[in-house]
Every structure is written in structure tokens, then in C-alpha cells.
Amino acid sequence: MTYIKLLLCLFVGSVHSWTLDYLAAKQVPSPHFNRGRSGQAITCLVLHGTAGGGTVSWFQNPTSKVSAHYVVEQDGSVVQMVSEDDTAWHNGVVTTNSVFYGRPNPNLWCIGIEFSRNIQNNNIMPEVQIASGVRLVADIKRRYKGINIYTHDQFNVGRTCPGPSFPLARFQNA
Ligand SMILES: [Zn+2]
């Protein structure tokens, strides 16, 4: 009996199941996250461009060590890869010339959304993708009143993310 309990404990301890925060998303878990938010409140939504395809499999690849809560594909499909309750690994580098420099790691207080874009992060995004992203952002705004919307390049200054021709106003107005 003790042995079985031990096995059960090991099993339960190694599996972290979570439910979708955004019901229109498909769940594809990434192993790249930290449990919880280390006491930080979620006050930030940070928007990214993927700089190329294959993002969902890259976030599952053990060598990448990166993730985001959501990926919005060019066809408008949405994948959730990390629970909003947990810390994803998308926004951990803050340059000294960022207004966010010196604050706790932004991954702890931000939700991250990746928008699939071309390698240069400069394509005109399809309307179906933008509209899908607007619905996702509106849902997050409804659940986190007053959440701030930022872009990755406000933290990692000089990085081309989310990149040119990104329809930021559409998401700010969602
Ligand atoms: Zn980014």
C-alpha cells in the first residue's frame, strides 16, 4: 500500500494538468514554464511576432527553452501552450534602456501572445489572424481589468518583435 502511494505521488508530482483559459483555443502544452507567478499579479499582456513558422513545435522542443501562453496562427487558429496561472518564457530579457529595467522578471507579471509572422516579422498580417487575436485580447481584457498591453520591443529594446506593420491599435482597442 505504501509503495503504491509512493508511486501515485511520483506520478501526480510529475504531471501538471491545466484547463484552457481561452475556450476557443486548442491546448498544446509546452514543458517550458514555471509553476505560478511568484506572487506577482498579472498586469501586462505582451505581444510578439514569431519571425517564422513552426512556433508551436519549437515551444515543445526541449532545446528551445522558450514558450508563450498563446500562439495565433495566420489562419486564425489559436493554441494555448501554458496556463495563464503559470509563468511562460517569452519576455525574460530586459535591456538597460527599457522603462521596465529593474523591475521583477516580466515573465512573472505578463501574459504572452505570439502572432505567427514571416521571418522578417514584417508581413501584412491576414485579417482572419488579426480578428482572431482581437477576440483573444478582448477575452483577456475582460478577465484582467485594466491590463496593460505592451510589445516585446518595449522590454528588449532593439529587438524586431512584433515587428513592422504590426496592427497594435487593433489589439489596444479590442
Ligand atoms: Zn518577442
CA of 161 to the centre of ligand 1 (A): 5
Q: Is the pTM of this model over 0.85?
A: yes
Q: How wide is the angle at C-alpha 91 spanned by C-alphas 86 and 93, nearest 5°? A: 130
- How is the chain split into domains, by residue range? 17-172
Inform me whether the pLDDT recorded for 14 exceeds 80.
Answer: no
CA of 3 to the centre of ligand 1 (A): 46
CA of 36 to the centre of ligand 1 (A): 21
- Nearest CA to 97 out of 14, 171, 40, 153 is that of 153
CA of 20 to the centre of ligand 1 (A): 22
Inform me whether the pLDDT recorded for 132 exceeds 90.
Answer: yes
Pick among 3.40.80.10, 3.10.350.10, 1.10.760.10, 3.40.30.10: CATH of 17-172: 3.40.80.10
* Band of pLDDT at residue 146, cut at 50, 70 and 90: very high
* Band of pLDDT at residue 13, cut at 50, 70 and 90: very low
Q: Give DSSP secondary structure letters for 2-52.
A: HHHHHHHHHHHHH------SSTTSEE---S-EESS-TT----EEEEEE-SS
pLDDT in the model for residue 1:
46
* Band of pLDDT at residue 6, cut at 50, 70 and 90: low
pLDDT in the model for residue 16:
82
CA of 152 to the centre of ligand 1 (A): 5
CA of 160 to the centre of ligand 1 (A): 8
pLDDT in tens, 32-78: 999 999 999 999 999 999 999 999 999 999 999 999 999 999 999 99
